[in-house]
Chain A
Amino acid sequence: DADVTQTPRNRITKTGKRIMLECSQTKGHDRMYWYRQDPGLGLRLIYYSFDVKDINKGEISDGYSVSRQAQAKFSLSLESAIPNQTALYFCATSDPAAGSYGYTFGSGTRLTVV
């Protein structure tokens, strides 16, 4: 099993719909992140969480919300999807105490809003 699992892998949804992207991890890391990648660009941070009770906005949080249900689970929601939220979404974990491992990324969720 992958260390960081994202579901679904692909999703097409209609404008105005609410959608949730889910992320679970088996690394035991406290820190989790959601990033967004637009075509031809690098990743940008949406939200991050350093533990279950800690949620922080990233660079591009407008239009998104998150929920940290447990140490291992971090969900991203689009309350009312719009076409410019079409992108590749990545979940990641990190543990500064883990030494040389840095960040670990999931396989991504490709979201299309029509």
Chain B
Amino acid sequence: GIQVEQSPPDLILQEGANSTLRCNFSDSVNNLQWFHQNPWGQLINLFYIPSGTKQNGRLSATTVATERYSLLYISSSQTTDSGVYFCAVEPAGNMLTFGGGTRLMVKP
């Protein structure tokens, strides 16, 4: 099946810093989503982005489908950004597959 690798696995930032999270995948996909899992375990859908670039406030994401990677940018990080960020991909004819996640801690 498709392989989804996220980097870095862990990230510690000072409040106000910027960061880039990366997701590499091994096959072409119809769907790519970024999720934030908060400390209570809830999965928040950040972006549906199988290709191109989107922005939502301090967050933006870019997927380069031809090169099989996606990037999530967090600018001016806040303590509420802490949690785990998951990339998930859905190849044609297959189910949504999750990466291992990036665990982010933002310190005040």
Q: Footprint of B on A, CB under 8 Å?
A: 33, 41-45, 48, 58, 88, 90, 92, 94, 96, 100-105, 107-108, 110
Query: Given the known A-B contacts A90-B43, A105-B45, A108-B43, are A42 and B96 also in contact in the complex, defined by CB atoms under 8 Å?
Result: no
List the one stretch of B11-19, B58-66, B67-75, B98-106 in contact with chain A: B98-106
Interface size (B, Cβ < 8 Å)?
A: 20
Query: Given the known A-B contacts A41-B100, A110-B41, are A102 and B95 also in contact in the complex, defined by CB atoms under 8 Å?
Result: no
Q: Which residue of A lies closest to B1 (CB)?
A: A59
Task: With a 10 A CB-CB cut-off, give which of A33, A105, A107 has the most chain B CB atoms.
Answer: A105
B31 at the binding interface (Cβ < 8 Å): yes
B42 adjacent to A107 (CB under 8 Å) = yes
Main secondary structure of the interface of A (DSSP, over half): strand
A42 adjacent to B101 (CB under 8 Å) = yes
Bound Cα distance from A96 to B91, whole angstroms:
12
Q: List 30 A-B contacts (CB under 8 A).
A: A33-B95, A33-B96, A42-B88, A42-B99, A42-B100, A43-B86, A43-B88, A43-B98, A45-B95, A45-B97, A58-B95, A88-B41, A90-B43, A94-B96, A96-B30, A101-B48, A102-B31, A102-B33, A102-B48, A103-B31, A103-B33, A103-B45, A103-B88, A104-B45, A105-B35, A105-B43, A107-B41, A107-B42, A108-B43, A110-B41
